[in-house]
Structure formats: structure tokens, C-alpha cells
């Protein structure tokens, strides 16, 4: 049976609706958080013409407040996404690893369990930061790269996924993974990419429902697939 895993980045307000959706279908998920940007939280909004600052096509997603993390993500896995989304290679390596660890330790203290997963901010990594991640006890580091067979990834610290959840060929990749006997299908994204636009939310719910009802698959957490990495499932097995 193929394991389906998913993860979502940045700890934004849309995750409240997202976690409710996953609970409805019993879907497992990992949320990659940067607690240093979450502080008091902020509400979603649309930017005014000429307004400066980061947005996703004009949508400012807003952040979940740190005090609400445990409640919002109750029942799901949490992972470090650096303290303030620091990109590897863009800050000194010593500063970068401290950021990765600060986020991890904050989350572990908050939920009282290990949070050994990691997602590379903006998908950026270097050989030195890969080494630092490994030496500091992280279990894996998710990139933004795509592969046909996730289990072909021999280095857990530069773990690739099958695709983004909005990929145009999502279902082709999903069915191909099953047909090729892959042990894992892995997708990721940001909930703010659906804005507050109902058709996009419905598309995601249709995906989650289909996967939940698929007798050939089962939901798993990202941390669960680490022992499978480096393996190649034989075709036809």
C-alpha cells in the first residue's frame, strides 16, 4: 500500500481552515513553522494599490499567533522552517543553524514531543548547511525539488517530493506512482495559495477525499517515510 504524505509551510491563518479539513477526512499532515514570524499573529488582508511589502498576488495571508500554535495544530506533526524563514547561504551558517534549532526547540517545548523534521526556506540549501542539519539531529530536510520516486532520495537532508499540491499533472503523478509500485507519494504547499477562493478550497478537498477513500493508499507523516529513503521499489512488486 502506498503511503501518502503532505506538508504545509509558514504557519498562516488559512491553516486554521486547512487543519479542520484534514480532521474531517482523517488526513495526516506536517506543518513547517517559523515561530519568530508568528509572535502576536496577524489577520489576512488584501493590499491597497501601491502598498509595499510581501504579498501573494496581493493577498497577505496573516500569521497564526504563537500562543495558538498548539491548539490549531493539535494532532498534527510540526517541523522547523527556521525561526524567521532564514535562507541557507543568505546568512552566516552559524546563524542559520541556530535559527533552525531555535524553531525546533521552541516547537518541542510547546508540544512536548520531538520535532525533528525540517523544510528548507525557499528550497535553498548548501552542502555545509546539509552537514549542519544532519549533525544537529534533524531527521530530514524537505526541498522544493520533484522526483518520480521519493524513495530514490538517498540523502534525507535534501528530500524531494513528488509535486506541489496545485501541480497541473498532480493526478498523473499520483497514478503513475501507484502503477510503478512506489512506496510513497509526497506533496506540499502553502494554504495561502488558495486565498479565500472557494473553488480552490473545493479542489483541495476533492483531492483529500479521493486519497482518503483510495483503497490502495494510506495517510502517513513525513517522519514515517525516512526509513524508506534510498530504497527502490521493484516494478510489479
Q: What is the pLDDT of residue 196?
A: 86
Examine the pLDDT at 237 and tell me if it is beyond 50: no
Assigned domain for 73 exists: yes
Spatial distance between the Cα atoms of 120 and 32, rounded to a whole number of angstroms: 9
Please write the tens of the pLDDT for every residue from 85-129: 999 999 999 999 999 999 999 999 999 999 999 999 999 999 999
SS3 98: helix
Assigned domain for 105 exists: yes
Assigned domain for 235 exists: no
Examine the pLDDT at 236 and tell me if it is beyond 60: no
Q: How far apart are the first and last CA of the chain?
A: 11
Assigned domain for 233 exists: no
Mean pLDDT in residue range 197-205:
97
**Domain, as residue range, for 22:** 2-228
Assigned domain for 120 exists: yes
Mean pLDDT in residue range 194-221:
97
Label residue 234 by pLDDT band (50, 70, 90): very low
Spatial distance between the Cα atoms of 216 and 30, rounded to a whole number of angstroms: 22
Q: What is the pLDDT of residue 232?
A: 60
Q: List beta partners, residue 119.
A: 142
**What's the chain's average pLDDT?**
94
Q: What is the pLDDT of residue 59?
A: 81
> Residue 20 is part of a domain; what is its CATH number?
3.20.20.370
Assigned domain for 237 exists: no
Count of the separate structural domains present in the chain: 1
Assigned domain for 192 exists: yes
Assigned domain for 83 exists: yes
Amino acid at each position: 500500500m502506498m503511503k501518502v504524505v503532505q506538508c504545509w509551510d509558514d504557519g498562516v491563518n488559512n491553516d486554521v481552515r486547512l487543519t479542520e479539513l484534514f480532521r474531517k477526512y482523517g488526513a495526516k499532515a506536517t506543518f513547517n513553522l517559523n515561530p519568530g514570524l508568528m509572535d502576536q499573529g496577524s489577520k489576512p488582508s488584501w493590499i491597497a494599490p501601491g502598498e509595499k511589502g510581501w504579498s501573494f498576488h496581493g493577498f497577505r495571508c496573516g500569521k497564526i499567533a504563537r500562543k495558538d500554535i498548539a491548539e490549531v495544530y493539535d494532532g498534527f506533526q510540526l517541523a522547523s522552517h527556521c525561526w524567521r524563514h532564514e535562507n541557507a547561504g543568505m546568512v552566516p551558517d552559524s546563524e542559520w543553524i541556530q535559527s533552525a534549532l531555535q524553531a525546533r526547540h521552541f516547537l518541542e517545548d510547546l508540544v512536548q514531543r520531538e520535532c525533528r523534521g525540517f523544510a528548507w526556506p525557499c528550497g535553498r540549501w548548501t552542502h555545509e548547511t546539509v552537514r549542519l542539519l544532519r549533525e544537529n539531529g534533524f531527521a530530514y530536510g524537505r526541498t522544493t525539488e520533484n522526483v518520480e520516486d521519493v524513495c530514490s532520495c538517498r540523502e534525507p537532508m535534501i528530500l524531494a517530493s513528488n509535486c506541489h499540491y496545485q501541480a497541473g499533472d498532480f493526478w498523473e503523478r499520483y497514478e503513475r506512482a501507484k502503477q510503478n509500485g512506489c512506496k510513497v507519494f509526497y506533496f506540499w504547499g502553502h494554504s495561502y495559495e488558495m486565498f479565500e477562493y472557494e473553488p480552490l478550497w473545493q479542489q483541495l478537498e476533492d483531492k483529500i477525499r479521493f486519497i482518503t477513500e483510495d483503497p490502495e493508499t494510506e495517510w502517513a507523516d513525513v517522519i514515517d517515510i525516512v526509513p524508506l529513503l534510498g530504497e527502490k521499489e521493484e516494478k510489479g512488486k
